[in-house]
Structure formats: structure tokens, C-alpha cells
């Protein structure tokens, strides 16, 4: 969508060129920052490994080139099997949740929407709890039954809300939001019951609810990342539809958008990305709700700018938060993220000279 094709009122809302050059700069700076954070993320941990060894191990594993082997097997395992998949998982999940959050906020036109608005979180948590409580263990592709059931739970909850909430129909999104809330409440009640009877498994369920990157591995990343990346790329490709939906159904129709179809597709894509993220990292909050708002304050409202910058910012936030969390003895990443991110968000909100509306 270009500035020429949209009405003045929309242009004034930030759809115009005011932020255009700035977006590219912010994007490039963001990518640079992300790269630096990822290198630090792989270098820092409870074991001291020098940056030279870290890079040498990665170079060795990627290309087979050996510039004099100075490291031990243990160092190689720590860098290659533990830290690298963890940092990459943080980046992919952070990006995925931020894009999913931006998408849901646009579709339901509510600034408080997050990736879990369709009951995905309760569905995933209940699925995981069932997986933890079932007396069977099952491992395929290094994905435990917990990961698989969390994914299924998230998808089933989202589809249920989608059908019952009438997301396929035209009309307001209030019904969809409230259906999400109601279905989420039922699932949360079942989860509470599961936790109540879980005995020694309570801690396992609890850590899933906290969310975290400790369980990251190449296998889990290689299963979840394609889902997240493909879904997010497809959302970005539909940025124009998302802009249209944000303006309301009738306005969107004027732009020639098939409202019901586009809304359905976007909801499914964002739910897929969320479910895949939740399945491997548990319930990580904050990033999906706040990052899109921060990005809108920085680059304006058009989805074609908000979505890619949200992906970069989400990745930065989660990689940085996980890094700090690990340095503080692996405390829950959600705590760090809120403590780092919320003050930054408050400052931006305060500085926004023009009022900020979604």
C-alpha cells in the first residue's frame, strides 16, 4: 500500500512517509544489535568460554575448517549443543510471538490482544499438563509428548474459539474476544484441576507455565522453526490485508479485501506460529503484547513496516532477556523481559507527543 492510495485521515495516523526512511535505519540497526546480542549470548554462560574458542567451534561445525583445535569436547558441546540452539530458539520464538501479537492486535482491533488471545495459552498449558501427567513417555524427533500435546492443545483451542466465536463471519470482534476468554477460562479451570492432582509433577507443569529456553535443542528448533518462519513470512506477505482489517470491515472491503477469507487466513497463520513457539518454550508472555506497540511508536502503523521490525525487536528482546536471565542463574525469562521491557515501553509511551491509538 502506498501513501497515494490511502485517504488523508489514514496518512495522518502514521501511514504516510514520515517514518519511511527511519524504518530502514531502525531495521538495520536492529539487525546489527541482534547479531551482537546473539554472539554475546553464545559466548556468555555459567562456564567461561572465550569468544575465540566460541567462534572457532561454530566455524568448525559449520564449515569443517579447523584453525588449530584449542577447545575440548565439553566446550564444543556447550557452544554447539546448548548455547547456539538456545540463542537461535530465543530469536525465532521472540520474532514469531511479536509478529503473532501484531497480527492479533490488528485483527481484533484491540491494543491488549496478544498471541494468546484465542485461548492458545490455556490450550497449550492443558495439553502440556496432560502430557506430563500421562504415564507414557514418547519421544519422536526429540519432541516429547509434552511438546506435541502443547502444540495440539494450542491449535485445538484456537480453532474452537475461531469456530464458536464466529471469526469467519463479518461483524465486530467482540464476540471472538469474549469467546476466547470463555474457552480460555474453561481450559484454565481444567488446568488448575490437573495441577491440583498432579502431586510431584506440579513443578514440571509450573515451569512450563513460566516459559523458558532451557529446553532448547537443535531437534526442537528444527521442528518448530520452519512452522514459525513460514507462518510469519505468510503474515508479512499479507500486510496489506492486515492494514485493511485494522480500519474496519467496510473500509477493508473498499480496498478490495475479502474480509472473511483474509481474517481467517491471518488468524490461522498467527495461531500456528504461536502454537509452535509455545510447544518448545512454554508460555512466554509480554513480548507478543508489547513489542508491536513499541514498534508502532517507532515506525508508525502500516503493517508492512510494523511486522518485520516487530520480528527483529521481538528477537532482540527475547535473546537479551534470556542472556540476562542466564547470567542471573537461570531465573524465569518472563521476569527479566518485563523488568527490561516495561520501563522502556513506559518511556516511549510518555514521549509519544501525538496520542497513540491502535
Partner 1 sequence: MHLPSRAARRASLWSIATPLLALAFVVAACSSSAASTTPIAPSASTALASATPVPTVAPTPSPTPAPSFPLTLTDDEGGTVTLAAEPQKIVSLTPAVTETLFAVGAGPRVVATDDSSDYPAEAKPLPDVVTFGTVDVEKIVSLKPDLVIAGGAGFTAADAIAKLRDVKIPVLVVSTPSIEGIYKDIELVGSAVGATDEAKTVTTKMRADMQAIATAAQAESAKASTKPRVFYDVGYIDTTGQIYGPAEGSFLAEMLGLLGVDVITGDKVTYEIPIEKLIERDPQVIILGVNAFYKPTPETVAKRTGWKALTAVKTGDIRSVNDTEITRPGPRLAIGMHNLALAMYPDLRLPPVS
Binding-site ranges for partner 1 (CB under 8 A): 45-47, 73-74, 76-78, 81-82, 128, 132, 137, 139, 142, 144, 146-147, 192, 195-204, 206-210, 212, 214-217, 282, 329-330
> Of the two residues 76 and 114, which places its CB atom closer to partner 1 in the complex?
76
Q: How far is the CB of 208 from partner 1 (least distance, A)?
A: 6
> Of the two residues 138 and 181, which places its CB atom closer to partner 1 in the complex?
138
Q: How far is the CB of 225 from partner 1 (least distance, A)?
A: 16
Q: How far is the CB of 222 from partner 1 (least distance, A)?
A: 13
Q: How far apart (Å, rounded) are the C-alpha atoms in residues 216 and 330? A: 13
Q: How far is the CB of 147 from partner 1 (least distance, A)?
A: 7
Neighbours of 188 (CB within 10 A): 16
Q: What's the grid cell of residue 255?
A: 480496498
> Of the two residues 12 and 203, which places its CB atom closer to partner 1 in the complex?
203
Helices 120-133, 202-210: crossing angle, 10 deg rounding: 150
Q: How far is the CB of 133 from partner 1 (least distance, A)?
A: 11
Where do we find the cell 500486510? 239
| Cβ-Cβ contacts under 8 Å for 198 (sequence gap 6 or more) | 129, 132, 133, 204, 205
The phi and psi torsions of 183 (rounded to 5 degrees) equal -60, -40
Q: How far apart (Å, rounded) are the C-alpha atoms in residues 102 and 139? A: 33
Helices (H), the chain: 8-10, 20-43, 51-63, 73-76, 84-108, 120-133, 145-164, 174-196, 202-210, 218-237, 239-246, 249-254, 259-281, 287-299, 303-327, 333-351
> Of the two residues 45 and 244, which places its CB atom closer to partner 1 in the complex?
45
Q: How far is the CB of 201 from partner 1 (least distance, A)?
A: 8
> Of the two residues 25 and 189, which places its CB atom closer to partner 1 in the complex?
189
Q: How far apart (Å, rounded) are the C-alpha atoms in residues 269 and 275? A: 10
Q: How far is the CB of 154 from partner 1 (least distance, A)?
A: 14
> Of the two residues 107 and 227, which places its CB atom closer to partner 1 in the complex?
227
> Of the two residues 1 and 202, which places its CB atom closer to partner 1 in the complex?
202
Amino acid at each position: 500500500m502506498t501513501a497515494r492510495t490511502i485517504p488523508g485521515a489514514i496518512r495522518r495516523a502514521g501511514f504516510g512517509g514520515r517514518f519511511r526512511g527511519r524504518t530502514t535505519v531502525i531495521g538495520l540497526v536492529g539487525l546489527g544489535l541482534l547479531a551482537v546480542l546473539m554472539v554475546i549470548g553464545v559466548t556468555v554462560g555459567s562456564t567461561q568460554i572465550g569468544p575465540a574458542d566460541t567462534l572457532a567451534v561454530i566455524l568448525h561445525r559449520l564449515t569443517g575448517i579447523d584453525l588449530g583445535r584449542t577447545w575440548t569436547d565439553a566446550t564444543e558441546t556447550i557452544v554447539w549443543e546448548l548455547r547456539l540452539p538456545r540463542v537461535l530458539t530465543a530469536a525465532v520464538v521472540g520474532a514469531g510471538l511479536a509478529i503473532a501479537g501484531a497480527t492479533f492486535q490488528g485483527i481484533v482491533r484491540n491494543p491488549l490482544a496478544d498471541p494468546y488471545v484465542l485461548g492458545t495459552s490455556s490450550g497449550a498449558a492443558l495439553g502440556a499438563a496432560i502430557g506430563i501427567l500421562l504415564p507414557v513417555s514418547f519421544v519422536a524427533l526429540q519432541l516429547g509428548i509434552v511438546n506435541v500435546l502443547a502444540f495440539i492443545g494450542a491449535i485445538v483451542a484456537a480453532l474452537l474459539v475461531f469456530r464458536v466465536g464466529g471469526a469467519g463471519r463479518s461483524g465486530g470482534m467482540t464476540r471472538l474476544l469474549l469467546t476466547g476468554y470463555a474457552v480460555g477460562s474453561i481450559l484454565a479451570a481444567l488446568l488448575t484441576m490437573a495441577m491440583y492432582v498432579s502431586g510431584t509433577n506440579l513443578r514440571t507443569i509450573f515451569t512450563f507455565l513460566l516459559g523458558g529456553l532451557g529446553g532448547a535443542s537443535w531437534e526442537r528448533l528444527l521442528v518448530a522453526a520452519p512452522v514459525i518462519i513460514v507462518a510469519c513470512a505468510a503474515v508479512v506477505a499479507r500486510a496489506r490485508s492486515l492494514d485493511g482489517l485494522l480500519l474496519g470491515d467496510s473500509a477493508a472491503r473498499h480496498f478490495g479485501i475479502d474480509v472473511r477469507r483474509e481474517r481467517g487466513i491471518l488468524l490461522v497463520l498467527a495461531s500456528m506460529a504461536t502454537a509452535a513457539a509455545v510447544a518448545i518454550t512454554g508460555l512466554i508472555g509480554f513480548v507478543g503484547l508489547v513489542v508491536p506497540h513499541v514498534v508502532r511508536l517507532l515506525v508508525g502503523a502500516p503493517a508492512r513496516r510494523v511486522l518485520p521490525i516487530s520480528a527483529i525487536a521481538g528477537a532482540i528482546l527475547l535473546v537479551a532477556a534470556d542472556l540476562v536471565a542466564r547470567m542471573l542463574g537461570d531465573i524465569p525469562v518472563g521476569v527479566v523481559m518485563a523488568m527490561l521491557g516495561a520501563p522502556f515501553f513506559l518511556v516511549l509511551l510518555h514521549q509519544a507527543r501525538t496520542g497513540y491509538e491502535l
